[in-house]
Structure 1
Amino acid sequence: MLTSVLLKTLRDQSRALLGWAAALIVIVAMYVAIWPSIRDQPSMNAFLDQMPDALRNLFAMSGADMSTPVGYIKIELLSFMGPIAVLLYAIGTGVGAIAGEEERHTLEFLLAAPVGRPRIVLEKAAAMAVGTAFLVVVMGAALLWEGTWTGMDLPADRVFAAMAHLGLLGLVFGSFGLALSAATGRPGLSRGLPVAVAVLAYAVSGLGGVVDWLKPLQKYSPFYQYSGHDPLVNGLDWPSVGIAAATAAVLVAAAVVGFRRRDTAV
């Protein structure tokens, strides 16, 4: 198993992944169960309309309408809770890839195996990508299946377009955590800095439409690549997909370089 870092990592993560998947299924079920009590309440849309533009942009995707299944899911799941869950998993996995192995004193066994450092990083990144993809597919499938319980009809192709963008968002910040983890071996820094940058990027994306001096920065935010083109309504936005994928690839390459250069005293 040590000759395949990817398989070993996936095996080690299997129970945690199943736990994450179960949690996401429950979260989606909770939002689906609440939907019937929301859809016939015009006061909810009135509340949204009365919110200041800055708050509405921060906590709801553009054009969200609580009276429709698409609008409800955009506000309740895809604007906040969904990204938080995916980012927590991806960042935690990216940090655990190298710094976590050091903290558990298992890195020396990994380095003693007949695999080079670049391959370790690349296969750890691949395991993170597989795990993230698994979770967003589970979330998308749960939306489509559980939504039928309450008449929440969602377009399958648009749901999985939104899940693809969400998965790429997770990979960007997970790769950032991996790069810091590989370069420093410090789990606290490697976990805290991506979270701080994610919060900042979220604010820039949300407020860029209403704050003039943030507008030039908005399109550089990974959250803008995730939601700025409204994938649940418009489907995949290929330029945004390309930017997010390229960003993650650059960060993984930085992780390879950082790990090769670092003295791990092994």
Structure 2
Amino acid sequence: MLRSVFAKTLRDQRRSLAWWSVSLVLIVGMYVAIWPSVRDQPSVGDFLDQMPEAIRSLFASSGADMSTPVGYLQVELMSFLGPAVVLLYAIGAAVAAIGGEEEHHTMDLLLANPIRRSRVVLDKFAAMAVGTFLLAAVTGTALVAEGQITGMDLPVGNVAAAMLHLAMLGVVFGSLALALSGWTGWAGLSRGIPAALAVVAYAVNALAPLVDWLEPLQKLSPFYQYIGGDPLREGVDLPSVLVSVTTTAVLVALAVVGFRRRDIAA
């Protein structure tokens, strides 16, 4: 008899999480290894200033300076690639949790156990969230450990804060995928809509300072909650974290309601 959907889900993901972790360590190592050559370029500090403002805003937070370790990581890792990797994992794990089970016709076997549907959703969400936070922790640990090798002076507390914000970004979009999967059971739709909305949210947050009509929408973007407070330099932005937590709670509640109300295909 199945005793824990949470434990089973994490066990099923162990190989995937291992590969994701190794990939992140290697990605971080690549950027850390490049840092000394970037640092030694006297003109690197002017690199961003020479770009058109619209292009610069897409991959650099306000005040980013590539001549410093923090500014370099903001531009090269934290603005785009880091979030992209975490979002790919979180959305994929959330879709596999319900829509994937239904596509592979294993959900009926799972529900044959004496487990409430709400418990299935909550355990699947917990496994996705733990996996997302694990990948963020691996990234942060790699940044601090590998950064010491090349003389990167990274504040450990701020790195931890940035990883918290990064993990919450992934969990928000993973929760959206879970909610769509819970209501529809369609894996493709549950994967495609969050991915498309992530692109839109990224663009809104990046371009809002330059486009007047986007400015009122900026604070609604999960990417604003992720990087608007500049956690790699300023530490945890508690209001942004609370917004992300609230958004996640609402989406998970919707996932529970949708999954409980729907007929599950065998």
Write out per-residue CA displacement over residues 171-215 of structure 1, whole angstroms, 9 at most, x where no aligned residue: 000000001111101111000000000000000000011111100
Contact 2:225-2:243 within 8 A present in 1 as well:
yes
Contact 1:3-1:114 within 8 A present in 2 as well:
no
- Compute the TM-score of the two structures, normalised by the length of structure 1: 0.98
Structure 1 CA distance for aligned equivalents of residues 265 and 171 of structure 2 = 29
Match of 2:234 in 1: 234
Would you identify which runs of 4 or more consecutive aligned residues in structure 1 move more than 4 Å?
none
Structure 1 unaligned blocks of 5 or more: none
Contact 2:61-2:230 within 8 A present in 1 as well:
yes
Q: How many residue pairs are counted as aligned between the two chains?
A: 266
1:31 paired to 2:31:
yes
Question: How far has the Cα of 1:114 moved from its partner?
Answer: 1.0
1:76 paired to 2:87:
no
Contact 1:61-1:230 within 8 A present in 2 as well:
yes
Structure 2 CA distance for aligned equivalents of residues 202 and 135 of structure 1 = 21
Q: Supply the AA of the counterpart residue of 2:143.
A: L
Match of 1:117 in 2: 117
Contact 1:87-1:174 within 8 A present in 2 as well:
yes
Structure 2 CA distance for aligned equivalents of residues 29 and 228 of structure 1 = 26
Secondary structure of 1:48's aligned partner: coil
Q: Supply the AA of the counterpart residue of 2:62.
A: S
Secondary structure of 1:42's aligned partner: coil
Write out per-residue CA displacement over residues 69-97 of structure 1, whole angstroms, 9 at most, x where no aligned residue: 01001111100110000000000011111
Structure 1 CA distance for aligned equivalents of residues 237 and 171 of structure 2 = 17
Secondary structure of 2:127's aligned partner: helix
Match of 2:200 in 1: 200
Write out per-residue CA displacement over residues 90-122 of structure 1, whole angstroms, 9 at most, x where no aligned residue: 000111110000111110111001101000000
State percent identity of aligned pairs: 65
Question: How far has the Cα of 1:153 moved from its partner?
Answer: 1.2
Structure 2 CA distance for aligned equivalents of residues 2 and 52 of structure 1 = 57
Match of 1:94 in 2: 94
Structure 2 CA distance for aligned equivalents of residues 65 and 87 of structure 1 = 25
Structure 1 CA distance for aligned equivalents of residues 217 and 5 of structure 2 = 38
Match of 2:191 in 1: 191
Structure 2 CA distance for aligned equivalents of residues 265 and 141 of structure 1 = 42
Structure 2 CA distance for aligned equivalents of residues 42 and 243 of structure 1 = 40
Question: How far has the Cα of 1:229 moved from its partner?
Answer: 0.6
Secondary structure of 2:89's aligned partner: helix
Contact 1:125-1:175 within 8 A present in 2 as well:
yes
Secondary structure of 1:49's aligned partner: coil
- Compute the TM-score of the two structures, normalised by the length of structure 2: 0.98
Aligned-pair Cα RMSD in Å: 0.9
Structure 2 CA distance for aligned equivalents of residues 256 and 127 of structure 1 = 15
1:59 paired to 2:59:
yes
Question: How far has the Cα of 1:46 moved from its partner?
Answer: 2.0
Structure 2 unaligned blocks of 5 or more: none
Question: How far has the Cα of 1:17 moved from its partner?
Answer: 0.4
Write out per-residue CA displacement over residues 112-137 of structure 1, whole angstroms, 9 at most, x where no aligned residue: 01101000000000001110111000
Contact 1:61-1:227 within 8 A present in 2 as well:
yes
Q: Supply the AA of the counterpart residue of 1:74.
A: Q
